[in-house]
Chain A
Amino acid sequence: MTMVLEVDNLAKAFTPGFIPKKREILKGISFSVAAGEIFGYLGPNGAGKTTTLKCILGLIFPDRGKIEIFGHPHLSMKGREQLGYLPENPYFYDYLTGAEFLDFYARLFGLKKRDKEDKIAGLLRLVGMEKACDLQLRKFSRGMLQRIGLAQALINDPTLLFLDEPLGGLDPLGRKELRDIIVRLKQEGKTIFLCSHILQDIEMICDRVAIIVGGRVISQGSLRDLISEKVLYTEITLSGIDPALLADLGEPVSTHDDRILLKVFQEDNIGNLMALVHEKKGKIHSLIPRTETLEDIFVEMVKQG
């Protein structure tokens, strides 16, 4: 497995205001990202996610530690030519139109005129923004900025893509579309480093994750290793049964009209419940086994951390 990004013992402290007391944000972060994977970087607010990202991108200078991108020191131009970055809240030049905006970044990478036009048209199509190419960015909605921001990050056809909260501020449809784009980019062979709070999305698309709490990576590994497949409990929705009869079988969560949502923890009880429903001529509307989610693990780790 080739590593495209290696971060070793990264530390950074800030001195807020005039008081000469340092506040440690990163306390020795180490992780590595392999070529071709989607790597999720998770953590609660203020854990140091964006600070890590800014260190990697050369926007702030770490106090100690080593960062290598494609085997080059992170500040070297060679490594940075193959990077793409979409910041958390996309702030861009709002006096430019969509097309001018992408044209600016394309020229920074020295793209030739013909390639540039094809590239910009292709990217606008990819992110579904063909119609907005003549509109000034100040008139864009949050979702549109996110999309044009992604197009900007892809202008140099990067091998390693950093996305900071790419799904924030998008409607459900937009989130699905963006998730599909991210998966497609992975299929094209790109490596994606994803910071996100939306754990369901991370769970759906990430190969490996690192969880950072209080400036330290407290867990990292493949999602499959982190999340057990074991069934935690089964959620059953049923009707036509007297709630008093269910007390021994599971924990009732809610009752709506005649319908009861029940959490059943022991597998034997599922059989007993089915028998009961059959006997009383009731009805089962749904039966969903719940396994551990990334959210469960995340909440537990943050509490421990």
Chain B
Amino acid sequence: MKIKVIALNTFKEAIRDRILYLLFFFAAVALVFSRVLAVLTVGDRVKIIKDVGLASISLFGVLMAIMIGTGLVYKEIDKKTIYTLLSKPIQRWQFLLGKFFGLVLTLFIMTLAMSLIFLVIVLLHTGRLESRMLLAILFIFIELILITAVAILFSCFSTPILSSIFSLSFYLIGHLSWGLETLIQKTRPGTSRIVLRGLSAVLPDLENFNFKTEIVHGLAIDPRFYLYSAVYGLVYTLFILTLAVLIFKKRDFV
């Protein structure tokens, strides 16, 4: 109940933040631009629209999660609004989860709005809608949930600029970590291979949520892989949130 109240207030805070609309505006421009780009392309134009469109939703969603998420907790501490809030009978984890769900709700609305523009553009161009497109968007959204948790984790102990850098690094590492697999294959068995294996186990693999290529090109995907990705997202998010709660629980608000 208390989590819901804080989440709704966070939602109110986020949707009254101008940066959200600025990002949304650029996302809309990028989506419309995909149509222009398609005109300039030789080859399958629909694929360009879908590819650029999905990538825009993903990129601007991540920017929204990081830009707003990294400021959420920090602002409460910096502006001292947290004083009145935590003096009420609220546990610190309830506060943190409230913030998290509030931002997830905001991102849900924003992803929905961006997807609508995207789907209308696709519909106008092809005359039909594919349900698999929604599946790609769903996994983009699961990735956004994880990024939100990461942004909130960093926001618990560092400034918005540093948190943004950390969160963006997490995102980039997450999308490049699959390269480690190739490196492991090419390394001779031994200590270095074990170290690389350990590293690949710890580092996030955000490519798990990337079904864009398969879906745009109409390739088949094993349903088990969907399930694996969803569970991976859930477990990783829970892990990050637990870490955030543990750090936040011990903090002195000076």
Q: Which A residues form the contact surface with B (CB < 8 A)? A: 14, 54, 57-61, 77, 80-81, 83, 85-87, 89, 91-93, 95-96, 100, 104-105, 107-110, 149, 152-153, 156, 162
Contacts and interface: CB of A to CB of B under 8 A. Distances in A.
Interface residues of B, number: 25
A58 B5 contact: no
Given A87-B84, A91-B79, A153-B84, 6 more contacts: A58-B87, A59-B87, A61-B250, A80-B89, A91-B80, A108-B90
Interface string B84-99: 1111111100000000
Contacts of B13: 93, 95
Contacts of B82: 59
B83 A85 contact: yes
Given A104-B9, A108-B90, A61 B83 contact: no
B89 A60 contact: no
A226 to B, nearest CB: 29
A100 to B, nearest CB: 8
A92 B5 CA distance: 16
Contacts of A109: 88-89
Interface of B: 1-2, 5-6, 9, 12-13, 16, 79-91, 250, 252-254
A131 B4 CA distance: 29
Contacts of A54: 83, 253-254
B90 A59 contact: no
A91 B5 contact: no
B16 A81 contact: no
Contacts, number: 71
A108 B85 CA distance: 9
B88 A91 contact: no
Given A14-B254, A93-B81, A110 B89 contact: no
14 contacts: A54-B254, A60-B252, A60-B253, A60-B254, A80-B87, A81-B89, A83-B87, A93-B9, A104-B5, A104-B9, A107-B5, A108-B2, A108-B88, A162-B87
B80 A87 contact: yes
Nearest to A79: B89
A217 B61 CA distance: 54
A59 B2 CA distance: 18
B84 A92 contact: yes
Nearest to A59: B253
A59 B248 CA distance: 11
A89 B78 CA distance: 13
B12 A96 contact: yes
Nearest to B6: A108
A109 B250 CA distance: 24
Contacts of B9: 93, 96, 104
A194 to B, nearest CB: 16
B88 A59 contact: no
A59 B83 contact: yes
Contacts of B254: 14, 54, 60
B163 to A, nearest CB: 20
Nearest to B252: A60
The winner among A54, A81, A86 for most chain B CB atoms within 10 A is A54
A74 to B, nearest CB: 11
Of B13, B83, B253, most A-chain CB atoms within 10 Å: B83
A128 B82 CA distance: 25
B1 to A, nearest CB: 6
A132 to B, nearest CB: 18
